[in-house]
Every structure is written in C-alpha cells, then in structure tokens.
Amino acid sequence: MCGIFCYIGMQDAVALVMDGLKKLEYRGYDSAGIAINNNGILIHKRQGKLEALSSSVPPAFRGSKVAIGHTRWATHGSPNIVNAHPHVSADGKIAMVHNGIIENYETFRSSFGETDIQCEGETDSEVLVKYIALQYQEPFQNLEEVVAKVLSEVQGSYSLVIMEESKPHKIIAARRGSPLVVGRSDDGYYLASDILPILPHTRKVVYLEDGEIVVIENNQLQIFDFSYQQKQAEFQYLNIDLHSADKTGYKHYMLKEIHEQPKALRRGHGQQMSNDNLLPELQPFMETISKAGRIIILGCGTSWHAGLVAEYVIEKLCRVPVEVEYASEFRYRDPVIYADDVIVALSQSGETADTLVALEEAKKHGALLYGVVNVPTSSIARLVDVYSNIFAGPEISVASTKAFICQLNALYLFAIKLGKYNGNLSPDYSLSVLKELRQVPDILKNYLSYIVYRIKNIAMIYSHVNHTLFLGRGLQFPIALEGALKLKEVSYIHAEGYPAAEMKHGPIALIEKGWPVIIIALKSDPHYKKVLSNIEEIKARGGSVIGIISEGDESIKDNVENWIEIPRISFLLSPMFTVIPMQLLAYYIGLHKGCDIDKPRNLAKSVTVE
C-alpha cells in the first residue's frame, strides 16, 4: 500500500519524481525516499510526510536524468528512516523501491548466513534487493535475468523498480498482484503505481500484467515474462479529465468529492443508460446471470457497505438470493462456490488485493465474474468476465465518498436490468424507478447547496465526543455502518453501526447521559414506527439523538435533540441521500478537531496487500 514514481529520460528526474510522489502521498505517508544514479547510486530518505523529503533534497541530486521514488505505508517494519525506501544491496550498487509483501522473505534471508550480508532494517523489501544482488553472478549476462529468476521464486505480491550503478541509463521494473503502469512521452518514460501522477506528462501508457518485467534503457522499452521471453509492448491512449484530480478551490479532496457526487452520477447515467439499454456491457451475459442460483457480492470497507445495500435491492427487485461477503475473509473460509453463481466484485481502485484473491478463488470454480470498478484498466477489470465502470472519476481522499454513491448507482441499474430480464419487474415499475433514479443528480445537487450549513453547526456540537452509535433499519443499516466508518476514518472517534432492531440486544448498555446516537428515521420506511420506539428507548436512558429524517416530518423533531432532513424520495433510493449527512458530519467533525482529512493516520487509499 505504497506509492512508486520513477522517471528516466531527458528532464530533471528529481523534480518530476517529487511532484509524482506528491500526487501519490494518499497511498502512504509514513516515510519517503528517492534514489538517483549519478556517478554512483545516491539515496535520500526521510521519516514522515513527503514534505520532510522534498524540503531537504541535497544539491547533488539536482540535474539527474534517472530517479526512483517511493512513499511508504508500513507493512513490514516500523515507519522509520531505516525501513524507508529505496533499499540498496550490500555493496550499494543496486537500489530498489517496492510495493507489496514478500511472504517468503525469510527463506531468502537464510541464504545470507554464509556471507557478510547484514540487513539494517526490518523490511522484506531490503531482504529482496540484497538477495537479488547475491544472485547476480555468472551465468547471468544482465540484471533483468537475475530479477526474472528471483521473482519466479517469490511468494507474495509486489510491484518494484530497480536501478543498477553500472547502467546509469537503465531501470528495471516488475509486477505481480500490485499495480504498475508505464507512461511514454517524447522526453522519457514514467513508472508509477497509479495513473494519476503520469497524466500531466503523457496519456500513452502500458499496464504491466502479472509476471511481466519491463526494461527501459537508452530510450528503448522491452517487456519480458519471468521465463525471460520477450513480449509485445502495447501502449494505449487514455482519455481522462486531468482537472478532476485537482482540488479546484476546495480545502480538502474529501469535501470536493462529496460535492462532485451529482456530476459523477450524471456522468454515469449518460454512459450506463444509453438508448434505454442499461449497462449494455452486460447484455451478452444476461442469460447466464438470469439463471444464477445466487449472487455473491465481494467488497471491503465502503465497497462492502455498498454491497449490503445491493443485497436488499436485488432481492427485492429480482427475487434472487444474494450473499455479501468480506473479500478479505472469503478465500480463507473454504467457500462453497457453484458454476451457476455470479460473483460481483466491488472495488474503487480495482486493485484491492483481498478482492483480487477472492476472485481468483471463484474463477477456479467456473462462476461468472462481474466487476463494478472505477478504473477500467485495473487488475480486477482485466480479471473478470465483464465489468461496469462506475464513472466516479479520480477519488483522491482516503475516505471514499463519490465512489460509494456511484457504486450504488451501478448496482441499482444492475438490479433493474436483471429484474426486467427475469420478469420480476413490470415495465411500469421499472420505468418509474429509472425515472426517479435519473432525477437523483439534480435533487442531490440542490440538497448539498443548503444542507451544509446545518451540518456544520451540528458537527461543532458533537466534535468533542469520544464514542458514537449509528442506527438504521433495513436498507438504512448499511448506511449506519458507513456513517460509523467515515467518522472513525476521518475524526478518529470510536463509532459503531448497528441495525436499530439489535440495539436492545447489547448496544443499549452503552447509552448514558449525553451519549450521541445518530439514527435514520424516514417516514417512507415501512418500519418507521419501530424506529420511533428506538428513539424513545435512547431518550429514556439520557442519550442525545441526532435524527436523519424525511423532509417535512415535523412530528419527529420534538423527539430528537438535533435533526437533518433529506429530500422526499422513495425508500428504495433513500440510501443515496441518507449517506450524505454521514459524509459531511465526518468531514466537519474531523475538520473541527484538526485531523488530517484526506490522509488519516494509519490508512492508505488503495489496499494492495492482503
């Protein structure tokens, strides 16, 4: 879960790499480092955020035409300067940056016993580069042959970039299970673990596949597999809006991305509803999907919450059994998978390691794999049988907001399409749901324009608390989970999400005078009266109730301490609105507390290791 950015070409490599790492800091910010090859390999590393590195680059680093850089989120070893990347071989002649986990690194370390090789830090990455250097001897003619041989022995996931002192105009890179993209421009080549830092320089890119090595030397690029067989490099042109990755006047990316949600939904509708054919990419697979014995949805974190909403919606509209699984647990419990299952994978990045591994397990059993992703060139999009792009655009803040609502949008469309196809949805009802879904972007834009002020005030009232409970019933239970997650991520306040009906089965013991409870109580909810009973139970124990309520519901306002209205919308689509107060409350509470909103401690945006 680290960021890699490298450059080889004719420009000032250090300046380019520093700028690239800045765009990747959301992937890791425990430490950062850079290496150049200028009459010998020079390394510069700093603990903490990238600013500590960029403000202290020695003069000797300026002017280099080759540089490899890294910003770290610690997996193996403490977040300190010794464990920071790049790491070097024992003789200092090979440097490497690495993202991922080498699971069998202790096997490689054991080979150092008969040598004088010592590891200064605790990382698997340092062991790997020292082992590669140890193997670099006859009959190998070049370093890439050694890298291919060693990586064929490695267990785990990685993307890595290597430079060699004796070859100042050459870098080597490889990947398995962790993303790496190469961009080509007139002035050189760029390598990164994410497309965003490459886009300002070029739109011509090639995504490395698992088990591929790229060698760039003297402005020439070659790709090999781990058997050292050469492969064709196929560059593609990306048409991506570069400005969507800027803050454009907002204080934080999170706030910008919350306010981008109407635009993102509108973009998705334009692509996913063309010619009244919902999600056209699914059409060739609909016969198989309609005969599915069940649908299994995989996701992690916020994506898992989107899957829980989809479980309610798909079962209601399609009458097909749905199971929602943590991708991180799915593989390890020896799951029962049938050939007529449909596996739906949700991932904003399309690189989530847990989800990828779960899909590979499902693929062995012959199930149809369907990806719902935000990056159509991602590993998940390339692995599945068919994928849908959610069209959220770049999401930089670690706390996901617009990707969640765009996932919901795609999953609603999937449910409507399947319900129509298998005959469980009448044409009139499906049209009415679609009509309302098309209105969501405009209603949401208007809602965001007037609700912020009220949420700011409520956030100030509750920013001092240490614990919070989120409650919701049915479709709103996943939103309660999402609200609790957002508050934990952004403000570091302990929060729990629960089904409201489960409150009496344990959580009510926590409630005491002043304890804040955020509860979703919509008049359109078939169980509205039961939610009102939950509110009375909380008040009777001194709890402070913040109600997420329906617009115009005056009667409930006397029963809650604070309230936030959502627009009139059907209960089926209400999660797309009840999540908005959750996102904004987390943001403004975190802001009031002085938290690092876009880069919360201990978190990284794309979880590319298990």
* Domains of the chain with bracketed CATH: 3-240 (3.60.20.10), 244-425 (3.40.50.10490), 446-597 (3.40.50.10490)
Active-site option among 2, 300, 318, 595: 2
The rounded distance, in Å, linking the Cα atoms of 526 and 535 is: 16
What residues are paired with 324 via a beta bridge? 297
Q: Among 2-11, 21-30, 235-244, 451-460, which stretch is predicted with the lowest mean pLDDT?
A: 235-244
**Quick check: is 2 catalytic?**
yes
pLDDT digits (tens, 9 = 90+) for 77-132: 677 888 889 999 989 999 999 988 888 988 888 888 777 788 888 889 899 999 99
Query: Is the pLDDT at 297 greater than 70, yes or no?
Result: yes
Query: Is the pLDDT at 549 greater than 60, yes or no?
Result: yes
Closest CA to 321 of 386, 405, 418, 434: 418
Compute how many other C-beta atoms are within 10 angstroms of the C-beta atom of residue 244.
19
Confidence of residue 578 (pLDDT cuts 50, 70, 90): very high
Active-site option among 170, 420, 599, 605: 605
Rounded mean pLDDT, 217-221: 91
Which is more confidently placed, 81 or 282? 282
The percent of residues above 70 in pLDDT, for the chain, comes to 95
My answer on whether omega of the bond before 168 falls inside 30° of 0, hence cis, is: no
Rounded mean pLDDT, 121-149: 86
My answer on whether omega of the bond before 86 falls inside 30° of 0, hence cis, is: yes
Decide if 373 contacts 389 (C-beta within 8 A).
yes
Query: Is the pLDDT at 608 greater than 50, yes or no?
Result: no
- pLDDT for 610 equals 45
| Mean pLDDT score across all residues of the chain | 89
The percent of residues above 90 in pLDDT, for the chain, comes to 58
Query: Is the pLDDT at 73 greater than 70, yes or no?
Result: yes
The rounded distance, in Å, linking the Cα atoms of 488 and 135 is: 46
Query: Is the pLDDT at 519 greater than 60, yes or no?
Result: yes
Confidence of residue 605 (pLDDT cuts 50, 70, 90): low
**Quick check: is 488 catalytic?**
no
Q: Among 74-78, 102-106, 376-380, 412-416, which stretch is predicted with the lowest mean pLDDT?
A: 74-78
